Amino acid sequence: MDEKVKGSDNVATDQDNPLDHPAFPLHRGGKMAIQATVPVHDKDDLSLAYTPGVAEVCSAIAERPELVHEYTWKSKVVAVVTDGTAVLGLGDIGPEASLPVMEGKAILFKQFGGVDAVPIALATTDVDEIVETVVRLAPSFGGVNLEDIAAPRCFEIERKLQERLDIPVFHDDQHGTAVVTLAALRNAAKLTGRQIKELRAVISGAGAAGIAIAKFLLAAGIGDVAVADRKGIVSADRDDLTPVKRELAEITNHAGLSGSLESALDGADVYIGVSGGTVPEEAVASMAPGAFVFAMANPNPEVQPDIAHKYASVVATGRSDYPNQINNVLAFPGIFAGAFEVRASRITEGMKIAAAEALADVVGEEVSADYVIPSPFDERVAPAVTRAVAAAARAEGVARN
């Protein structure tokens, strides 16, 4: 159950004539371009935008490095970095094949958060090579968004980069998914008159998203959470765990469950799927009354909505054609916009929880079984997340503005 799954993307192919798919005309020539923000119409413009005028700005920054944030784009641009090893539902397809996704991520940053982003696909899967490359590129950027890098390398890369850089480093496959999941869960609990601390959740998928969601829900105060991989519940009595999963076993599964995912669902309040595959209907039926089913695999949810609705009070998926889409684009543009607004040095757990709370609050009193999370096209989303993240950064002492 560890396949790479994202809650925000659908994959469609035409096996007979793939180049006839309507996505190809849209992608021809790429989906983005660099655009000047100043005029260069005559020699006077040129002398200010480039030589000799630019030398004045360069010299000032050399003497006062903090001026780079005011007189370049550094403080509002993200490097979207991948090695192409865990792309959408496609897996390890390499850096070139991943580039359309990175371009897509960049235009979502701009469209939904007003943040500029540059796709960077690296021809290496070595942890240290990736880290060293990004560290050397970092003077050009105000933040780093790691994207579609397979677990467990993604955890180490993120940790090492944040240790060495004083700008935000954010692995969206982990934290973006976790933020949106928590927001939906908060509103589902509100709708049904419960609190998060009363809930027991089961997560299928012990990859980047599953592990991040588990840790984030614990930070938010959930009663208990168990995580299942291909071999069953990640528990301390297993002798086949990787170091990452061994650490996970130490902080999750307070109930001491072992065995299969299906057995863990018996009496569970929440199912969260970030794995693919199919959960048997009888396992869903065994969940607690009024359960929540968040089946986020794309294009095929682990539990089909028509099945989930038989037993669950709230159903969410990763698809845009069903209500309650768990979509990362609700989180990452506003999170980076908020971090940039105050020149945060990192993105903390408190900032992510603030983002989740802001997302949930956008729904507010309109919450219903089909509306526990807002649409990405709700214009209130990005400003609300931006404000909340900026305020949390100030409160946690990582803001520099």
Q: Which residues are annotated as a binding site for (S)-malate?
A: 298, 327
Q: Which residue from 174, 176, 218, 186 is spatially nearest to 292, judged by alpha carbons?
A: 186
Pairing of strands 169-171, 200-204: unpaired
Give the residues across from 315 on adjacent strands.
Answer: 293
3-state secondary structure of 299: coil
**Binding-site residue set for a divalent metal cation:** 147-148, 173
Query: Could you tell me the CA-to-CA distances from 205 to 154, 231, 302, 370 in Å, in that order?
Result: 15, 10, 11, 25
Which residues are 312's β-sheet partners?
291
Residue 311: active-site member = no
Cα–Cα separations (whole angstroms), residue 349 to 126, 220, 372:
27, 9, 22
* Nearest CA-CA partner of 272 in 178, 193, 170: 178
Residue at 392: amino acid letter: A
Torsion angle defined by CA atoms of residues 262, 263, 265 and 266, in that order, rounded to the nearest 10 degrees? 130
CA distances from 225 to 34, 89, 102, 150 (A): 44, 25, 32, 23
Q: Which amino acid is at 5?
A: V
Question: How many CB atoms sit inside 10 A of residue 118's CB?
Answer: 19
Listed in order, strand segments (DSSP E) in 55-189 are 77-82, 116-121, 143-146, 169-171
Among 76, 105, 160, 215, the one annotated catalytic:
105
Give DSSP secondary structure letters for 14-77: -SS-GGGSTHHHHHTT-S-----SS---SHHHHHHHSTTHHHHHHHHHHH-GGGHHHHSSGGGE
> First and final CA of the chain: distance in angstroms?
43
Residue 50 is among the residues annotated as catalytic for this protein: yes
Contact of 296 with 320, CB cutoff 8 Å: no
The phi and psi torsions of 378 (rounded to 5 degrees) equal -75, 115
Q: Extract the annotated binding site.
A: 147-148, 173, 298, 327
Positions annotated as catalytic residues are: 50, 105
